[in-house]
């Protein structure tokens, strides 16, 4: 058996938090890290520093927005810059965004140590009446269809869909359901879209190890949200059946939200015992 440690972290600018990320990778003994919100172009990503730390990196980023990466010390193969059917976004699009010309830097796949890892930065949605909300729902529907097809083609595939999903799937995943009423991240269509991923066969591997309310991965910088424990759980590791059944541990490293200039997200870690 081989122990495989996978993590996901919205770092909110890799260049601003490079030392913090590299130090954490060493301390936490992570094999593969999926990164979101790198906020840089490919030529700006600090590849050399990761290489010095023993990690290969795949990255897709077009400008100062979005950006996703995978850093692996157990191999990095079959890199895909977008998942099949990934919608683009055009704020001036009509009824459908599926044919919009701009496919954003929000999804990156690679095979690492026998596990197919997808680093995902799901669209925020912005507001319930914003075109970005429609885009978010279509993006999630496309991911669900693609994920279901992967599992239909190979029921034993080890797939991890990980990242910042920008959805709190239950009331336990927010500090105050009343505060978030009428806003994105908690609307029923978004929660239904997340539930559709589990119905397609992907499991939230954290919950069995961290049940109940108060388990969060994101705290807004404003209003002292972190010290007041007013957070949301919006970062997830969703595993295919063949991977979920070999999960041995999972946790949120809340300490990484502390200290000087942290990201507003904390890493989520899962450990698997692979045959």
Active site residues per annotation:
121, 164, 265
**Parallel, antiparallel or unpaired: strands 2-10 and 32-36:** parallel
Cβ neighbours of 46 (radius 10 Å): 17
Query: In what order do the strands lie in the sheet containing 56-60?
Result: 56-60, 68-72, 32-36, 2-10, 268-274, 247-252
As a 3-state breakdown, the chain gives helix, strand, coil percent values, each rounded to 5, of: 25, 25, 50
Provide CB contacts within 8 A for 183, sequence distance 6+: 127, 128
Q: How far is CA 67 from CA 11, 34, 121, 181, 224, in A?
A: 10, 11, 8, 29, 27
- Residues 143 and 161 sit within 8 Å (Cβ to Cβ): yes
- 249 annotated as belonging to a binding site for a ligand: no
For helices 131-153 and 188-199, the axis angle rounded to 10 degrees is: 10
Any known ligand binding at 132? no
Distance CA 234, CA 163 (A): 9
For the record, the structure tokens of 253 come out as: 């490293």
Residue 90 annotated as part of some ligand binding site: no
Rounded Cα–Cα distance for residues 210 and 206 (Å): 6
19 is in an annotated binding site: no
Annotated binding site: 10, 37, 164, 166, 264-265
Point out the annotated binding site for Mg(2+). 10, 37, 164, 166, 264-265
């Amino acid at each position: 058996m081989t122990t495989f440690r996978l993590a996901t972290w919205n770092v909110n600018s890799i260049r601003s938090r490079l030392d913090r990320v590299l130090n954490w990778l060493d301390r936490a003994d992570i094999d593969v890290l999926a990164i979101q919100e790198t906020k840089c172009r490919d030529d700006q990503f600090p590849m050399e520093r990761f290489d010095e730390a023993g990690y290969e990196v795949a990255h897709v980023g077009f400008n100062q927005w979005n950006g996703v990466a995978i850093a692996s010390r157990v191999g990095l193969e079959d890199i895909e810059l977008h998942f099949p059917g990934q919608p683009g976004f055009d704020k001036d699009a009509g009824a459908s965004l599926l044919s919009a010309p701009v496919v954003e830097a929000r999804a990156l796949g690679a095979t690492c140590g026998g596990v197919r890892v997808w680093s995902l930065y799901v669209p925020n949605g912005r507001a319930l009446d914003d075109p970005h909300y429609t885009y978010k729902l279509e993006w999630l529907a496309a991911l669900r269809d693609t994920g279901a097809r992967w599992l239909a083609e190979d029921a034993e595939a080890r797939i991890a869909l990980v990242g910042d999903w920008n959805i709190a799937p239950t009331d336990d995943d927010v500090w105050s359901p009343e505060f978030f009423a009428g806003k994105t991240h908690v609307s029923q269509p978004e929660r239904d879209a997340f539930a559709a991923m589990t119905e397609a066969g992907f499991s939230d591997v954290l919950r069995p190890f961290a049940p109940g309310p108060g388990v969060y991965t994101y705290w807004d910088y404003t209003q002292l949200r972190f010290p007041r424990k007013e957070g949301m759980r919006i970062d997830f590791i969703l595993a295919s059946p063949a991977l979920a059944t070999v999960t041995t541990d999972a946790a949120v490293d809340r300490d990484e939200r502390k200290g000087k200039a942290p990201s507003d997200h904390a890493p989520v870690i899962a450990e698997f015992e692979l045959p």
